[in-house]
């Protein structure tokens, strides 16, 4: 019964998303599915892959094609989707674990802590250390 209700919820959510984000005359099912598949792939691979090129390859599309479709139907770029997912996970790890900045950077696929710190600061206007301090209060 719960499975059936979950399926109905997903179907209703998809229909609402189509109405909200896509003009009914211009949308094609393939383009909407491409956006959905991109988001699913980001959710699966964001810890190791941070480039649109990787996801475009999995979808057998060029990065430019992906970007064009997102510009038609989404308010965010593909790179913003990836970056927001990484930042969301980083914040979750800062707030709910005792891991160090280095451990979180490693877990999110950054080879250098400095690169992660710069990325985090550019996206949030806060350093990882500031977030870590505020989460421990």
Domains of the chain, earliest start first? 30-137 (1.10.10.60)
SS3 19: helix
* pLDDT tens sequence for the chain (137 residues): 888 888 898 888 888 877 776 655 455 778 888 999 999 999 999 999 999 999 999 999 999 999 999 988 778 999 999 999 999 999 999 999 999 999 999 999 999 999 999 999 999 999 998 888 887 66
Q: Are 128 and 117 in contact (CB under 8 A)?
A: yes
Q: Are 108 and 50 in contact (CB under 8 A)?
A: no
Q: What angle do CA 73, 78, 83 make, to 5 degrees?
A: 135
Cβ burial, residue 82 (10 Å; 0-12/13-18/19+): buried
End-to-end CA distance of the chain: 42
């Amino acid at each position: 019964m719960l499975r059936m209700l979950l399926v109905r919820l997903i179907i209703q959510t998809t229909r609402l998303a189509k109405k909200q984000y896509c003009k009914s005359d211009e949308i094609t099912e393939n383009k909407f599915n491409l956006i959905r598949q991109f988001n699913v792939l980001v959710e699966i691979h964001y810890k190791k892959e941070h480039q649109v090129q990787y996801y475009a390859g999995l979808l057998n599309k060029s990065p430019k094609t992906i970007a064009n479709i997102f510009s038609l139907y989404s308010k965010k770029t593909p790179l913003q989707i990836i970056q927001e997912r990484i930042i969301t996970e980083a914040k979750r790890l800062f707030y709910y674990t005792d891991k160090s900045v280095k451990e979180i950077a490693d877990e999110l696929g950054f080879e250098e802590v400095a690169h992660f710190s710069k990325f985090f600061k550019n996206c949030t206007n806060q350093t990882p250390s500031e977030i870590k301090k505020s989460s421990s209060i």
